[in-house]
Amino acid sequence: MSFLQDKKFGMISLGCDKNRVDAERMLGILREKGYTITDDAAEANILIVNTCAFLQSARKEAIDTVLDCNGYRGGNLEKIVVSGCLPEKYISELFPSLTEGDVFLGCSDAEALLPALEHSYAEGVRVDAVEKGTEGEEGRVLTTPLHYAYLKIADGCDNHCTYCLIPKIRGRYRSYPEEKLVAEAASLGDLSELILVAQDTTRYGTDAGGPSRLPGLIRKLSALENIGHIRLLYCYPEAITDELIEEMAVNPKVLPYIDIPLQHSEDRILKLMNRKGTRAEYLALIAKLRDRIPGIAVRSTFIAGFPSETREECEALASFLREAKLTNCGFFAYSREPETPAYKLPGQIPAREKQRRVRMLYRAQREVSRAFLQGKKGTVVDVLCDGIDYERGMFEGRAYWSAPEIDGKVYFHAPLAEQGKVYRVRITGADDYDLYGETEDYRK
């Protein structure tokens, strides 16, 4: 008799959308075995906390979440599973100290979940099942709204940016088989939007030798009838080929949107980061994209306060933002992570100064974003409805230039709007990040 019979499972997934896919695969195993999955932590007999370990703040959040979950022990909770990046990298320190966890799994150990839990119940012991396994063929339980989903096309990274722990956590770059990805996408149901993710999507297939196979994968995914549109995230600038740009330009299913994590604009800092590009090359790439794909939305992320960054270099980055006029941006203070080359660099910058520089960069980008959004007033745009904002009393959705959760929204009035459907919205207002409007058939 299984010790897991009639157990209810809950999942808390932290960190990035790539982590989300890992969590959804684990839920897929549970669904396939017939277990009950609940989104109410108080109802769960077994809680899985899928962790991130990219930054110190993420590691703290993961441990705090496990400690918070432990508070349910007085009710239905019997076991806590700690999975993902934190055990993958830090199991030797984590297992002895985080006694609130009953089972520990690495990033690719989903298949060990049930056997490890059975062992923990049978023997009354805590189980370290971190084995650096391989990704299985399990299905997924979507945790996104049903009209969009993420497709993780690879794991690991070979770029070795000097501030980043990902290669030490996730290992070498590994592309998932093309046929597996197409089958997975086909199994996700009718999607308005399929979002391709990896630590670096542009290098898909290069680990087998030869050029990137991302354009070919996009073509195969586009042929699926259940896929409405495809969105590309995390495209490294030096690996964006003319073939990829051409595929984006001619393929009607590929949204005119690209996320390019530039991280900085100034050549000296880029070299210290081990980034393969220069300010001039980045501006030329953005110009090329806009020339071939008119109206393309370019998103990026930047790090402020990297070791030895001068105020002048940060101000030059702000000047780059005004010149590049990127559609959406995120800014982060440099986090000094042990075991990264940048940890030992001289010229570490005080936390208060790093936060001041982040605020300065946000102010610069706010000017760009405000001008872009104000220019949409009076126009009619296609908006994918994501649901309802009950506080505003409006429907909420996104135009093509916004990815879910990270970019701005369009709030709109309509007689009726259905999640996953596209509506023509006349824009009547704008602020620094969001747009407001109404469908053409709306009557106050």
At 1 the pLDDT is 55
Model confidence band, residue 3 (pLDDT cutoffs 50, 70, 90):
confident
Q: Of 319, 440, 429, 295, nearest to 373 (Cα)?
A: 429
The pLDDT > 70 percentage for the chain reads 98
pLDDT, tens digit, 9 for 90 and up, residues 169-178 = 999 999 999 9
Domains of the chain: 8-128 (3.40.50.12160), 148-374 (3.80.30.20), 380-439 (2.40.50.140)
At 444 the pLDDT is 62
The pLDDT > 90 percentage for the chain reads 92
pLDDT, tens digit, 9 for 90 and up, residues 81-126 = 999 999 999 999 999 999 999 999 999 889 999 999 999 999 988 8
Do residues 71 and 18 lie in contact, with contact meaning Cβ atoms separated by under 8 Å?
A: no
Q: Is the pLDDT of residue 137 over 60?
A: no
At 131 the pLDDT is 79
DSSP result, 366-402: HHHHHHHHHTTTT-EEEEEEEEEETTTTEEEEE-TT-
What's the residue count for the chain? 444
Tokens of 376: 């949409």
CA angle 371, 404, 184 (to 5 degrees): 145
Q: Is the pLDDT of residue 321 over 60?
A: yes
Q: Is the pLDDT of residue 11 over 90?
A: yes
Do residues 423 and 415 lie in contact, with contact meaning Cβ atoms separated by under 8 Å?
A: no
Amino acid occupying residue 409: K
Q: Which residues pair with 380 in a beta bridge?
A: 426
Q: Of 381, 390, 386, nearest to 440 (Cα)?
A: 381
Which residues have C-beta within 8 Å of that of residue 132, sequence separation ≥ 6?
88, 106, 108, 109, 171
At 390 the pLDDT is 96
Model confidence band, residue 418 (pLDDT cutoffs 50, 70, 90):
very high
DSSP result, 271-303: HHTT-S--HHHHHHHHHHHHHHSTT-EEEEEEE
Q: Is the pLDDT of residue 145 over 60?
A: yes
Do residues 335 and 305 lie in contact, with contact meaning Cβ atoms separated by under 8 Å?
A: no
Q: Which stretches does DSSP call E strand in 153-253?
A: 154-155, 174-175, 191-197, 227-232
pLDDT, tens digit, 9 for 90 and up, residues 244-254 = 999 999 999 99
Pairing of the two strands 380-389 and 328-333: unpaired
